[in-house]
Each structure stands twice: as C-alpha cells, then as structure tokens.
Amino acid sequence: MDSLTVDHTYGHALYDVAKERGIVDEINEEYKAVREVFRDNPQLRRLLLIPLISALHKREVAEKVFGGRISKELLNFIFVLIDKRRIDAFDNIGRYFEKIVLENDGLTKGIVYSALPLDKERLGIIEKKTGESIGKEVKLENRIDKSLIGGMRIYIDGKLIDASVKTRLENLKQRIKS
C-alpha cells in the first residue's frame, strides 16, 4: 500500500510540474528514455540504491549521466527521488505518470494477452472494439501468453475481458450441463 501511495504522490507531483510548464509530452518521453538507461545499466540503478553512498555523490552521478540530455525538471525530479530515497520506485512512478497523461488525453491503457503476436492492424481493431465496449479510447500493449490455446485476454481499468478459447469452451460446457 505504501508503494502505491508513493507512486501516486510522486507521479501526480511530476505531472503537475510538467503540465504547469507545458512539457508533459517531453517529460513522458524523457522518463521512458531514463527508464531504458536504468534497464540497460543495472549497475547504475544499484549504485543509486546503495544506502552507504551519500545522496550528494548519487546526485553527481545522475548529473554526469543525464545532465544536458534531459530537461532540468526531470533531472531535478531524479534528485528529489535520490534525496528522499525513493529511486527504487522510479519505474512505478513513471507508469503512474504515463497513466495520468493518457487519462488526461482521454485514453486508457491496457494489456492484451494472445497466443501469438498481433499485427498492428489487428491490434488496432481490438483497441477500437474494446474502446467501444468501455466507452473510452484504448491503447493496448500486446503480450504473448503461451498458456492460451487461442483467443485473448484483455486487462484494462482493473477489469478482465476473457475471450480465450479455454473460457469459451468452459462456458459451453456449463451451458450443456444446465
């Protein structure tokens, strides 16, 4: 629960600053780029998490890595996370920030699990139909689930839309029993 509060608090704070300065899209893209740097360089992330290293030294490292490459607003935000010992929440804060951006653009984000990768055209059709069913514009990320025989499962706004072959067969079995 504490993590959820941290993600929301810091995500909203970053969004408020970005919106006030008119750089929401810039911050969103930069955040994704910084997240990639952390993913590609796990030793950097580990260094920023070590409690025995001073916040000042961690800030200097962050300045060397990101200074001049990202906005001063995002760099200052990273400094705050370092100072408050919240850098471990960086990914979750970014996801929450992105969720706020999408919601304010009238979009909602979800995940569609399928047995095989979906091409862009098929994904677009699924996004449109899902959006119509929930009354929002939808952006879906496709992930592969080898346990699916066919069909798909869509997770969106805390809900599951299960259109998998397995579920359809189980529903048919229940109707036959009745």
Q: What pLDDT, on the 0 to 100 scale, is given for residue 3?
A: 54
For residue 1, is pLDDT > 50? no
Q: What is the pairing mode between strands 151-156 and 159-164?
A: antiparallel
Inter-axis angle of helices 55-66 and 42-49, nearest 10: 150
Going by pLDDT thresholds of 50, 70 and 90, the confidence category of residue 4 is low
- Type of residue numbered 23: I
**Which range is least confidently modeled, 16-25, 43-52, 108-117, 161-170?**
161-170
CB 142 within 8 A of CB 118: yes
Gap between the terminal Cα atoms of the chain: 42
Task: Please state which CATH class domain 2-102 belongs to.
Answer: mainly alpha
Best CA proximity match to 59, nearest among 81, 79, 77: 79
For residue 149, is pLDDT > 90? no
- CATH code linked to domain 107-177: 3.40.30
For 63, list phi and psi in degrees, rounded to 5.
-60, -45
Radius of gyration of the chain (CA): 20
Mean pLDDT of 69-74: 96
Q: What pLDDT, on the 0 to 100 scale, is given for residue 162?
A: 87
> How do the domains of the chain map onto residue ranges?
2-102, 107-177
